[in-house]
Structure 1
Amino acid sequence: MAATRNMQPKYRRRRQWAGALAIALVILLVGVTGFVWYQRNVVAVRDYEGAGNGNIVMVRVDAGDSVSSLAPELVDKGVVGSRRAMMSAAEKEQPSLQQGYYPMQEKMSADNALQVLTDDESRRGVVDIPNGLTLDDVTVVGGEPRDGIYSLISKQTCQDEQTCVKPDQLREAVAQTSPEELGVPEWARDAVNARGDDPRRIEGLVAPGVHLFDPTAEPLAIMQDIIGDSVESFEGTGLVDSANKVGLSPYELLTAASLVEREAPAGDFDKVARVILNRLEINQKLEFDSTVNYSISEQEVATTNEDRDRETPWNTYAKEGLPATPIASPGLQAVHAMENPAEGDWLYFVTVDTDGRTVFNRDFDAHEQAIEESANNGVLDSNR
């Protein structure tokens, strides 16, 4: 009897534990059911009111992005309340999105969020670099000044004075950062290092075309993004392998392509590429006016005898071989021309009329006759 009495408290504790567990399971079940209900009926369809709470969130839109592909990110960043709300707003508008960065706010209504994403005035961090542009601004004799790459990038950041990055800040970031940290590819690092702290040391390594960057980022981060995009673009042409085939290093090919970009008329890129290679093969100076212009403050097609006599790292009248660096950003057409030059023995070329007709010759006397024709047609007139 004593043993039976001693076991009763043990059974009583087990029954109490089982009862507590049952209650806990009921509470858990109710909690899970409530959570699922809340997620399905509140969170899944939640839509905030108004234009946001003032906390800015930068949202990047790439080419091919849609409201559907962006919706999860907008929810994760707290911009909109739910994917369903965003998709419902999109169904009413059927929007087309343009690539760029968009300053949005936390807790925006889906309608307001969509309005920002489709408003071109809200678009930031998009720079479209034309073929043949230089890093620095250019003063054109008798013409309008031309913004350089640094200025174009700066203008995109300065749409908001709080995040405005000046051209000199971009120049300093390039001048004071190692090529490796900038993202300069290995095949260009020695040439970039050779230019010391010159802000133009990366000339030609920024590819023409559209580049996206966070306009609120630091100057160095901006340049790293743009250089990274550019290297991917250039190497995507098969630059490294093609350079070996034509007897140049990848950096030399890019430099030569910049000459093609600045010298060749449309339709003759591959012929000018061949002239460059033919002259390099026989160690004949290139003597391109575009290389003279690169280092002078005021530029035009017709250079002066004084300018051509100046010794600079770029002036191919005063030095043999290619310029020390590219003289502009070559477009992919110019790069392809250097990778696949035309067949020919030409050593000279000159544009002879305002329609862009260009004459190619092997013989220097024939070339001088073409120059005379060009002068008679006013192609070589100077505004100095």
Structure 2
Amino acid sequence: MPVVRDGRARDGRARDGAREGRPRPVGDRGAPAPDAGRAGARRRRAAEGRKRRARIVGGLAVIALVVLVGAAGVWAFSAFRGGPEPAADFAGPGGATVVVAVQPGDTAEQIAGEMADKGVTASSAAFYEAALQNSAITAVQPGYYRLQEGLPAADAVATLVDPAARVGQIQIAEGRQLHDTTDVNTGAVRKGIYTLISEASCAVGDGVPCVTYQQLDEAGAGDPAELGVADWARDAVSRVPDRDRQLEGLIAAGTWNVDPSASPAEMIRQLVTESAELYESTGLLETGANSGLDPYQVLVAASLIERESLPQDFAKVARVILNRLAIGQKLEFDSTVNYALDTTEVATTDVDRGTVTPWNTYASEGLPATPICSPGVGAVQAAENPEPGNWLYFVTINAQGDTLFTDNYQTHLDNIQKVEGGFLDSGR
């Protein structure tokens, strides 16, 4: 039977019972005639049959879709686990200590892979399933963590999210030096960067030996290129007269994560490389337009600024350095004298200042042979963009850091008389 659309058959003819203008047969009260009624009933039964079949087919299609989606989810999870069987897991207790790295941007799946690779868990899927049950996993920060081999997955997750598991984090304050220094007046030892690295490596415990201060000192005297020294510093570093000090200033102040299970050279290389990236982010490579110094010289100047002044005076001290270099006047900074002596003191003695070293700016013109500490970003930025001015002299007159600047030597001598309470007296 043709499909009807808008009162016309698909073949262009009129509806059944109305072809050629003939009237449609009707029975009593306008009902269809008997023959037409039977035909209509057959058509209605056929239509109802088609509707029932459509509903059955549609229902089966929905069921099939649900089954398909469910099967896809099971397949995806099973694929991550490695199969339909329960994920392999250790019964515990744990064994030897290992260090696990969490990299920036790692997902739970990636951490799970690291756990399995290090033998902490029997499978990545076991750790992943356990991580889904512990909301604290979302707070884990990039860094290095101490765990044990052979842990049940739930225990591995609980250990990872415990702050006590974190190791290898080093905080280097502005003005810190590579080596330990001793305060002249109190005898207190200020830990150097190598000591801080050593202590961070010793925090791991059994199974991971400490890296010693001596090992780091020896590694730091190695080939600058192998230690990650950037191209812009390599030539100057290769000419440093004391190899033990060649990396001074190249490990920046800040908070760093190092792998405590790495070798001494690997730790140093990581810190030197990441520090170079930090320094370069300040515009170090383009700084010559403002300071007239090359990048390594900027770092040297920044270290002097860090040791000689407080942040509010950084840019002024930077200008004093540049003004003196421009006219060939010695810098005469006590901090450079102390650096060569491995001691810390605001003041120095006549003997100290008269001792010629590659760092003593009383004895030689120009910048010292290396930075004398690790400068902070603020000091580096001040060296890159010194404050305009004609100052040649400055003196800090008290422990609060109040500093007086001038371009006149007599005024400078007068300012020295304002120093409070023996602040500049030497303890030697």
Could you say whether these structures have the same fold, taking a TM-score greater than 0.5 normalized by the shorter chain as the test? yes
Corresponding position: 1:277 with 2:322: yes
Partner AA of 2:146 in structure 1:
P
Q: Take 2:144 and 2:357, find their aligned partners in 1: how far apart are those partners? A: 40
The residue that corresponds to 1:85 in the other structure is 129
Corresponding position: 1:125 with 2:171: no
Q: Take 1:303 and 1:165, find their aligned partners in 2: how far apart are those partners? A: 35
1:46–1:85 Cα contact (<8 Å) kept: no
The residue that corresponds to 1:9 in the other structure is none
1:67–1:90 Cα contact (<8 Å) kept: no
Partner AA of 1:58 in structure 2:
V
2:99–2:146 Cα contact (<8 Å) kept: yes
Corresponding position: 1:380 with 2:424: yes
1:314–1:325 Cα contact (<8 Å) kept: yes
The residue that corresponds to 2:91 in the other structure is 49
- Deviation of 1:213 after TM superposition, in Å, equals 1.7
Partner AA of 2:102 in structure 1:
V
Q: TM-score, normalised by structure 1?
A: 0.83
Instruction: Compute the RMSD of aligned alpha carbons.
Output: 2.4
After superposition, the C-alpha distances for 1:238-270 in whole angstroms (9 at most, x for unaligned) are: 211113431111111100000000001131111
After superposition, the C-alpha distances for 1:115-157 in whole angstroms (9 at most, x for unaligned) are: 3213333322211111110111001012321010111111111
- Structure 1, unaligned runs of 5 or more: 1-31
- Deviation of 1:217 after TM superposition, in Å, equals 1.5
The residue that corresponds to 2:279 in the other structure is 234
2:232–2:295 Cα contact (<8 Å) kept: yes
Identity %: 46
Q: TM-score, normalised by structure 2?
A: 0.75
Q: Take 2:344 and 2:242, find their aligned partners in 1: how far apart are those partners? A: 24
2:109–2:128 Cα contact (<8 Å) kept: no
Map of 1:145-224 to 2, 5 A cutoff?
145-159=189-203, 160=205, 162-175=208-221, 177-195=222-240, 198-224=243-269
| Cα 1:338–1:306 shift into 2, 3 Å | same
Corresponding position: 1:103 with 2:146: yes
Residue among 322, 345, 354 paired with 2:367:
322
After TM superposition, the structure 1 stretch with the greater mean CA deviation from structure 2, 106-115 or 295-304, is: 106-115
Partner AA of 1:74 in structure 2:
M
Q: Take 1:86 and 1:190, find their aligned partners in 2: how far apart are those partners? A: 52
1:51–1:112 Cα contact (<8 Å) kept: no
The residue that corresponds to 2:53 in the other structure is none
Partner AA of 2:157 in structure 1:
L
| Cα 1:65–1:36 shift into 2, 3 Å | closer
After superposition, the C-alpha distances for 1:11-59 in whole angstroms (9 at most, x for unaligned) are: xxxxxxxxxxxxxxxxxxxxx9xx869845435x55543343x254421
Corresponding position: 1:116 with 2:162: no
| Cα 1:128–1:65 shift into 2, 3 Å | farther
Residue among 329, 332, 343 paired with 1:298:
343
- Deviation of 1:197 after TM superposition, in Å, equals 5.9
- Deviation of 1:207 after TM superposition, in Å, equals 0.7
Q: Take 2:383 and 2:321, find their aligned partners in 1: how far apart are those partners? A: 9
Corresponding position: 1:59 with 2:104: no
- Deviation of 1:169 after TM superposition, in Å, equals 0.7
- Structure 2, unaligned runs of 5 or more: 1-74
Q: Take 2:241 and 2:128, find their aligned partners in 1: how far apart are those partners? A: 55
- Deviation of 1:285 after TM superposition, in Å, equals 0.6
- Deviation of 1:367 after TM superposition, in Å, equals 1.0
The residue that corresponds to 2:390 in the other structure is 345
The residue that corresponds to 1:23 in the other structure is none
| Cα 1:382–1:180 shift into 2, 3 Å | same
Map of 1:12-31 to 2, 5 A cutoff?
none
| Cα 1:333–1:64 shift into 2, 3 Å | farther
Q: Take 1:37 and 1:146, find their aligned partners in 2: how far apart are those partners? A: 51
Q: Which structure has the bigger radius of gyration?
A: 2
After TM superposition, the structure 1 stretch with the greater mean CA deviation from structure 2, 323-332 or 114-123, is: 114-123
Residue 99 of structure 2 aligns to a residue whose secondary structure is strand
2:399–2:423 Cα contact (<8 Å) kept: yes
| Cα 1:58–1:295 shift into 2, 3 Å | same
After superposition, the C-alpha distances for 1:165-221 in whole angstroms (9 at most, x for unaligned) are: 11111111122x211111111121122111256211111111111222221111111
After superposition, the C-alpha distances for 1:49-92 in whole angstroms (9 at most, x for unaligned) are: 3343x25442113466565662343345453342542323323x
The residue that corresponds to 1:12 in the other structure is none
The residue that corresponds to 1:71 in the other structure is 112
- Deviation of 1:104 after TM superposition, in Å, equals 2.3
1:66–1:96 Cα contact (<8 Å) kept: no
